[in-house]
Structure 1
Amino acid sequence: MEKNTELYSYAKALAEVKLIRWHEMPDFSIYSDQLLQIVREELSFLSLNDEILVTKSMVNNYVKWGMMPKPIKKKYDKLHIVYVLVITLLKPILPIMKIKEGIQLQILIEGHENAYNSFCSALEESLREVFIPIIEQRKTYDFKERNITADKLAISSITLALSSKLLTEKIIDTKMSKLAKSNQSEGDSHDK
């Protein structure tokens, strides 16, 4: 199997993702710029081609749509950070109202802190499961059976979907880039 160094580097980075946990977040109120900075830093592994993942307008819309609590005197706390992180991660996979319902469901099952920490663990596990075979340069890609409790099924399913989407996009991007370079090289050799 030919080694794709760009895909390998990407897989290595994603297999090592470790999201900030509830207890690691600020215990004080922050302004929207600080909230955006935390979210952008935490999700920098998602940024492809300097894509803007979240803006003030998006956060304002999430509040307006009832997806997260309103800020208090234009200040945000760790609960807001958690909502924006999870929404930003899931919006490429699910419709926004399904994300809202999913968050509400998981909070009812586990409470805010446990629901968020469970989501982080599930995402990290899914990323490792999807990207480690790339790092190990396996010729076949066997999905292992996962033992998931019923209360974690939704979180596990959505994080696996996100991880698979990221892998698919990167494979397409790297192969398209390789084809474009190959076609350009062929065109250059015909010009001589």
Structure 2
Amino acid sequence: MTTLDKIIETFTQQIKFSGIIEIEDIPNIDLYMDQVTTFMDKALEQYKRYEEDKILTKTMINNYTKAKIFPAPVKKKYSRTHIMLLIMIYHLKSVLSIRDIGILFQPVLSVKSIEEQEELIRNLYEGFTKLQLTTRQFMQSSAEGIKDTTTPAKDILEEYKDEKIKKILLVLLLAIRANAEKQLAERVLDLYF
């Protein structure tokens, strides 16, 4: 097996097991900060490059709240909606600045009605997971040299009528792809250098 074959095999295996956290996998009860960080560490563990890496810390979450890119907890508890936002923020933070993430989520977080805000975040998150899946399938097909048969991202974006949701999902798609490429580069570096 050549070096390139090993890289492709390693990458293909990583893609197969990269976690996509569906809404149903997120606790439907409010969590305290320690429970949130524990959930995030377990749910996003496969994204760690090194064992000692932290997914999200209390300080990060507090900074996101202070920067107004993340709503404050209610009575020190975080809802399923908070967790959805944190997962998307986690995937964005290695690509965009905190300021840019704030600009991206501003149209959603500025909605006055909590119910409407939660519905928008849920719609965004559903689109986000669909885009993660199609990106994962595309990258796996590419690595294996198979003709791509995935649902094009454009089709997923077209499912949404709200233009602001489409625009946010486009940025999320680009971040998902950038993160996948970054992780592949890190894996190759760690494996061969």
User: TM-score by structure 2 length?
Assistant: 0.74
SS in structure 2 at match of 1:111: helix
2:189 to 164, 172, 176: 172
Any conservation in 1 of the 2:15–2:136 contact (CA below 8 Å)? yes
Q: Which runs of 5+ in 2 are unaligned?
A: 112-118, 159-165
Any conservation in 2 of the 1:130–1:164 contact (CA below 8 Å)? no
Where in structure 2 are the equivalents of 1:48-63 lying within 5 Å? 48-50=49-51, 51-63=53-65
1:111 to 120, 132, 135: 120
Q: Report the AA paired with residue 60 of structure 2.
A: M
| Bigger relative CO (Cα 8 Å, ≥ 6 apart) | 1
Question: Which residue pairs with 2:114 in the alignment?
Answer: none
Aligned residues: 172
| CA pair 79-117 structure 1, distance change in 2 beyond 3 A | same
CA deviation vs aligned residue, 1:42-70 (integer Å, no higher than 9, x gap): 21111111111211111111111111111
Residue 105 (structure 1) shift:
4.6
CA deviation vs aligned residue, 1:18-53 (integer Å, no higher than 9, x gap): 422224422221111111111111211111111112
Q: Report the AA paired with residue 167 of structure 1.
A: L
Aligned: 1:162 with 2:163: no
| CA pair 147-62 structure 1, distance change in 2 beyond 3 A | closer
Any conservation in 2 of the 1:17–1:124 contact (CA below 8 Å)? no
Question: Which residue pairs with 1:42 in the alignment?
Answer: 43
Q: Which runs of 5+ in 1 are unaligned?
A: 177-192
Q: Report the AA paired with residue 2 of structure 2.
A: E
1:67 to 69, 72, 75: 69
Superposed CA RMSD = 3.0
Any conservation in 1 of the 2:69–2:102 contact (CA below 8 Å)? yes
Any conservation in 2 of the 1:30–1:77 contact (CA below 8 Å)? yes
User: In structure 1, how many angstroms separate the alpha carbons of the residues matched to 2:153 and 2:73?
Assistant: 38
Question: Which residue pairs with 1:25 in the alignment?
Answer: 26
Any conservation in 2 of the 1:32–1:75 contact (CA below 8 Å)? yes
Residue 131 (structure 1) shift:
3.6
1:98 to 100, 106, 109: 100
Q: Report the AA paired with residue 38 of structure 2.
A: Q
Residue 122 (structure 1) shift:
0.7
Any conservation in 2 of the 1:130–1:167 contact (CA below 8 Å)? no
1:83 to 82, 85, 102: 85
Q: Report the AA paired with residue 40 of structure 1.
A: D
Overall identity of the aligned pairs, in % = 24
Question: Which residue pairs with 2:163 in the alignment?
Answer: none
